[in-house]
Amino acid sequence: MPTTEAAAYAARNGCTPSTVLPGLDKESAEALAARLKAIADPMRLRLISLVAAHENAEACVCDLTDPLELSQGTVSHHLKVLVEAGLFAREQRGTWAYYSLVPGALEALAGAAAALRVSALG
């Protein structure tokens, strides 16, 4: 039995509803969008790559400013966004902050993006 006016109209006009998969709920979609937004910046993608390439996959802000040709404040801002998105962890050591990839964070992000395709294909 149709539950909306649009569904009732479709049924009257010969449209056979297909099976609808649940897809993402609002909270999951918002969380995924925030993580995708965090990496949708070329400088942040470079930061991820640089940190991953460092010994032990961690780097100090002081290691990142020269390769990016950005000020310490700008690099710190981008790193903060990546930390807030759950992609980087931050550890204070004396006056310097060290950043590392959160284990499994990029894989989880890739898996969530792949799940969108699976949901779309049904």
Q: What is the pTM of this model?
A: 0.75
Q: Mean pLDDT, to the nearest integer, of 43-58?
A: 94
pLDDT class of 119 with cuts at 50, 70, 90? low
Q: Which pLDDT belongs to residue 19?
A: 62
| CA–CA dist 31, 33 (Å, integer) | 5
Q: Which pLDDT belongs to residue 4?
A: 72
Q: Which pLDDT belongs to residue 118?
A: 58
Residue boundaries of the structural domains of the chain: 31-121
31-121 belongs to which CATH class?
Answer: mainly alpha
H helices present in the chain, as ranges: 5-12, 26-39, 42-53, 61-68, 72-84, 105-121
pLDDT, tens digit, for every residue of 77-87? 999 999 999 99
pLDDT class of 1 with cuts at 50, 70, 90? very low
What lies within 8 Å, CB to CB, of 62 at 6+ separation is 72, 96
pLDDT class of 2 with cuts at 50, 70, 90? very low
Q: Mean pLDDT, to the nearest integer, of 20-42?
A: 85
Q: Mean pLDDT, to the nearest integer, of 90-109?
A: 92
